[in-house]
Amino acid sequence: MSINKIGVIGAGQMGTGIAQVCALAGIDVALNDISQERIAAGISVIESSLAKQVDRQLIDKAAKEAALARIRPALDYEAMRDCDMVIEAASENEEVKRKIFSKLCAALPPHVMLASNTSSISITRLASVTNRPERFIGIHFMNPVPRMQLVEVIRGIVTENETFETAKELIVRLGKTYTVSEDFPAFIVNRILLPMINEAIYTLYEGVGSVDAIDTAMRLGANHPMGPLQLADFIGLDTVLLVMQVLHEGLADSKYRPCPLLVKYVEAGWLGRKTQRGFYDYRSGAPIPTR
């Protein structure tokens, strides 16, 4: 099946990134969020991101303008009826996602494929609330979407081959590389990455090292581009906690127990960069370790 128009639900960090790469690949995009203001803010973020790509000479001004022209606000799900696929990129909360897909199915023709950008939740379970589980698939983009090369493709038990092949063809068209994961909690990347971050938080919690010591150790000792605590702040500590909870509940193994310090930071509303405080304090402009 050819994908000519894609709906994206969620104009946050992931949704705007997905919309941007789709538009640059020549695909029309309908961008939706809970309010017109959120959509407008998302389009503004995309415009700024494209301008930076022009400055870095990754694209030219004509490509930027053409991409922006392909993105249109969708104030409700009815505005996505002419899409070939709709990708949900809402917060990593299963109940929120289930409600979105239930409402989507009532608004969209039966041929429209559905995808979730979930980083951890069962694709089979999400598909079960729809009227088209055979046309449902997981397409997990990495953050930040415009820069990261990998996309995980996850089939549910009922996902048909046509849906699977169409998703893979779309990712290649976007200039990305796909890897196929079975439908297990957190898939491949987060199954490995998030427990490492959680262990780094335990290392801080137990007093083995400070924030700066842990991040410096992993940057220089393991050649990671950023330390695990810095990365946690970038991802969002609430998202880190949610994924660890999915792993802990889904696999029933104590090694996936979220660190109590992570729980405390989330309870305090210190979620990382998006709230200006997490394992680092960003309010002064220069990140300052909070421990």
Query: Are 171 and 199 spatial neighbours (Cβ–Cβ below 8 Å)?
Result: no
In the residue annotation, 140 being an active-site residue is answered as yes
**Per annotation, catalytic residue among 116, 120, 140, 198:** 140
Tell me what pLDDT residue 224 has: 95
Q: Are residues 167 and 240 part of one domain? A: no
Taking only the tens place, the pLDDT of each residue in 110-125 is 999 999 999 989 999 9
In the residue annotation, 131 being an active-site residue is answered as no
Closest to 9 in 3D by CA, of 107, 106, 75, 68: 75
**Per annotation, catalytic residue among 116, 181, 190, 198:** 190
**Per annotation, catalytic residue among 32, 116, 119, 120:** 119
Structure pTM? Answer: 0.89
The strands making up 177-181's β-sheet, listed across from edge to edge, are: 71-73, 28-32, 5-9, 85-88, 113-116, 136-141, 150-155, 177-181
Question: Looking at 163, 181, 199, which one is the last position of a domain?
Answer: 181
Q: Are residues 160 and 53 part of one domain? A: yes
Question: Looking at 164, 181, 198, which one is the last position of a domain?
Answer: 181
Does the structure show a pLDDT above 90 at 91? no
Q: Packing angle between helix 228-235 and helix 189-205, nearest 10 degrees?
A: 120
Alpha carbon distance 200, 15 (integer Å): 28
Q: Are residues 246 and 228 part of one domain? A: yes
**Per annotation, catalytic residue among 92, 120, 122, 152:** 152
Q: Are residues 203 and 114 part of one domain? A: no
Q: Are residues 275 and 158 part of one domain? A: no
Average pLDDT over residues 18-29: 97
Does the structure show a pLDDT above 80 at 212? yes
Does the structure show a pLDDT above 90 at 1? no
In the residue annotation, 119 being an active-site residue is answered as yes
The total number of structural domains in the chain stands at 2
Tell me what pLDDT residue 92 has: 87
What is the percent of the chain with per-residue pLDDT over 90, rounded to a whole number? 97
Domain CATH code at residue 242: 1.10.1040.10
Average pLDDT over residues 33-53: 96
Question: Looking at 132, 162, 181, which one is the last position of a domain?
Answer: 181
At residue 177, the 3 state secondary structure works out as strand
Average pLDDT over residues 9-31: 97
Tell me what pLDDT residue 72 has: 96
Centre a 10 Å sphere on the Cβ of residue 115 and count the other Cβ atoms it contains: 28
Tell me what pLDDT residue 78 has: 94
Domain, as residue range, for 134: 5-181
Tell me what pLDDT residue 123 has: 97
Does the structure show a pLDDT above 90 at 109? yes
Domain CATH code at residue 75: 3.40.50.720
CA 20 to chain centre: 13
CA 176 to chain centre: 15
